[in-house]
Amino acid sequence: MLRIRLERYQALHDGLRWRSVTMVIGGGLATVVGTFGLVVGILLLVVPSDDAFPWRAGLVVGLFIGLFPFVAGIALVWRGIERRVRLGKFRELVAFGGSRTSFEAADLVATLQLSPRDAHLLVVDAVSHGLVFDDGGPSPPAAPSFRFQPETTPMLPLGRSVASGHAPTQLGGAAAASLPGPGAPPPAMRTAAAASPEAWIGTVLNDTYIVDTLLGTGGMGAVYAARNRRTGRRYAIKTLLHDARLEPDAIKRFEREATAASAIGHPNIIGVHDFNETRDGVHYMVMDLLDGETLEQRLSKVGAMSWREARARGLELTSALAAAHARGLLHRDLKPANVFLARSPDAAGRSVDRAVLLDFGLVKQMDDANVSRITATGAAVGTPMYMPPEQARGEQVDVRSDVYGLGAVLYEMVTGTPPFFDRTLASVYAKLLTTQAPPASSLSRRPLPPAFDHLLACALAKTPAERFATMPAFARALASIEPTESRAAG
């Protein structure tokens, strides 16, 4: 399996960029000198003269001051352009492989739209520059794809609200020693469950939900597919351990995730149907079980979306966020991992995607005093690659902070990379606070409408006053681009 050396990328990037610029400039000067020498040499050759000296001088000047420098200059310009193209390929390779534990050359074929031969040559080139190395390990198993099925029957009393699509949390500790209710595992199995999330499969939560399969694990719990033992209806259940390792406010965040937006009732916000705690202190929430994958998983496969698809998903997300804002709620953690692409058949029986907003664990009421991204311990929470500058500084946030987060997600949809990407979090924070993101059209492999660059520049502005004032204003600007420009841009 192949791995990326992120610590090597910046030096390699700077070196290749400097050499490419030097070669293009040097080659251009040599081409100009060579052109001048060719002209002088030709003039000396064609000027009538009884003396042989002008003819000999013309031949020497034409060859050594004209032709040779001209050919060398063209070769240098070509090599400089080649290095610039190589730098772009390395940037795409780092964006693709930097967020993965490991990958194979075959994974680059579909994601970077390369032929198998070009993918192999790119890996060989990256290895020769020390950017990629082979750890000799086996191929990892495929990441699980969450399956959520939309509800078609009445919801439980909690109603339709928000839920988490975070990489769920890993179970561990004494809190997972047992589960109450009929069908609970024997003591030996309950002991294993403390260390293994898979051991929960087959157990029953509070005499109601039978845990069927493990969908995914994370740092503080897990997400399972489960069914109601009385109705047979299937759900997704997210668990959170009552563990001493958790922050003091972790359970409060979990409860807030389950209840804060329960009154929104929006088709692009996942529904939460129950929230409870077992007698052993295991908190869990019961959510819609949908069929599909997260936007993060989709982008890891395809690299980037078409403009039309990104626009459609973006309009769905602006609608969801506008509904949350109308209830006085800020999401504060927008990123591809928190957007689920639910698959369902349309009227013609074709499978279509629907963006569903996940994870309101960081949701805040807008009228909370000094709403910020700083916890009681003084630590900033969230994801810096999608975090607006004011949140990174711990300042007060409002709806325009969600505008920035959605702008960053849209940016990655069409480019395959976040607005700010670097090898260390410190570098990401530095770019986030001091530099402007490059235009999406400069990174996208497909042509984009010119107005799309302007829209993202507005959404990703450093100061909130320069952004769209509301989510509906963002939606109107996004929708207005489509009629003529999207057809021209593809």
pLDDT tens readout for residues 293-322? 999 989 988 888 988 899 999 999 999 999
The per-residue pLDDT for range 99-128, each reduced to its tens digit, is 555 667 777 776 667 777 777 777 777 776
Spatial distance between the Cα atoms of 195 and 197, rounded to a whole number of angstroms: 7
Q: Which of 359, 360, 453 is nearest to 407 (CA)?
A: 453
Asked if residue 238 belongs to a known ligand binding site, the reply is: yes
CATH annotation of 300-489: 1.10.510.10
pLDDT on residue 245: 44
DSSP for residue 379: -
333 included as an active-site residue? yes
Write down the domain spans for the chain: 2-134, 147-288, 300-489
Secondary structure of residue 324 in the 3-state scheme: helix
Which pLDDT value is given to residue 260? 64
User: What distances in angstroms separate CA 448 from CA 10, 73, 202, 475, 488, one per listed residue?
Assistant: 28, 34, 50, 18, 8
Catalytic residue of the set 333, 359, 402, 422: 333
Q: What is the pLDDT of residue 457?
A: 93
Mean pLDDT of the chain: 75
The CATH number given to 147-288 is 3.30.200.20
Q: Per the confidence metrics, is the pTM higher than 0.85? A: no
Alpha-carbon distance of 354 to 320, in angstroms, equals: 12
Beta-bridged to residue 354, according to DSSP, are 342
Distance, in Å, from the CA atom of 331 to the CA atom of 264, rounded to the nearest integer, reads: 13
- The CB density around residue 269, as the number of other CB atoms within 10 Å, is 25
Sequence-distant (≥ 6) Cβ neighbours of residue 11 within 8 angstroms: none
pLDDT at 278 > cutoff 60: yes
Q: Crossing angle, helix 399-415 and helix 295-302, to 10 degrees?
A: 30
404 pLDDT band, cuts 50/70/90, is: very high
- DSSP reduced 3-state for 235: strand
203 burial type by CB count under 10 A (0-12 exposed, 13-18 middle, 19+ buried): buried
Question: In Å, how far are 337, 339, 401, 463 from 366, measured between CA atoms?
Answer: 24, 22, 11, 18
- As a whole-number percent, the residues of the chain with pLDDT over 90 amount to 24
- Tell me if domain 147-288 and domain 300-489 are identical in fold: no
